[in-house]
Amino acid sequence: MQDLVIIGAGGFGREVKWLIERINQTADTWNLIGFIDDGIPPGTEIAGIPVIGGVDHLFGVRESLAVACAIGAPAIRKRIIDRIRANANLSFPTLIDPSVIMSESVRLGWGCIICADSSLTVDICIGDFAVINPDSTIGHDVRMDSFVTLCKLCWICQKPRKSWDTSRSILILIC
């Protein structure tokens, strides 16, 4: 099992903790060692696991550590990731709930979080650190940029085209 921390101990952080527990029910993959949160004192217990420090704690990591960034706001998530990416000891796995239905032609970037009961059909490209919340559907040929957050119960469909030219995309969001 690989050590992992979750950045953000709020509601989404607790949901990601649950996602990790669900992954581990299928195969022991992650050793969740704690939350990283600038707004909560180290040692505070959240959902049964400790807050081990703020984001600055990650600059001092000298051993291999997986990081899941459970911050819903894309701009804040990007700012945090841009700060800590330089530490070569940190990795950013894509976490996919076991209930997700996804074709083999879906391309996912680093550090994505795909929550329970979502469906990703075919020929989809999702950038780094994107978040797809529960019960969402992404249809064929959709391209999502890095750091996008898709709300719960969203459907995204896209008109088929020959290239990934996002300036000509037709997206339908039902939230």
Residues 105 and 147 in one domain: yes
The model scores a pTM over 0.85: yes
User: When comparing pLDDT for 167 and 65, which is higher?
Assistant: 65
Residue 14 belongs to a domain with what CATH number?
3.40.50.20
Last residue of a domain, one of 93, 121, 146: 93
Residues 88 and 105 in one domain: no
Last residue of a domain, one of 74, 93, 112: 93
Number of domains in the chain: 2
Residues 56 and 28 in one domain: yes
pLDDT digit string, tens, across residues 113-163: 999 999 999 999 999 999 999 999 999 999 999 999 998 888 888 755 544
Residues 72 and 101 in one domain: no
What is the mean pLDDT of the segment spanning 4-30? 98
Residues 51 and 134 in one domain: no
Residues 77 and 102 in one domain: no
**Which residues form the domain of 114?**
94-175
Residues 7 and 86 in one domain: yes
> Residue 78's pLDDT is what?
96
> Residue 159's pLDDT is what?
58
pLDDT digit string, tens, across residues 18-69: 999 999 999 999 999 999 999 999 999 999 999 999 999 999 999 999 999 9
Q: Which residues contact 88 (CB under 8 A, 6 or more apart)?
A: none
Give the pair of three-digit tokens for residue 164.
């990934």
Residues 37 and 111 in one domain: no
Residues 73 and 105 in one domain: no
Residues 35 and 25 in one domain: yes
Residue of 111, 120, 116, 108 whose CA lies nearest to 158: 120
Residues 131 and 78 in one domain: no
Residues 85 and 104 in one domain: no
Last residue of a domain, one of 48, 69, 93: 93
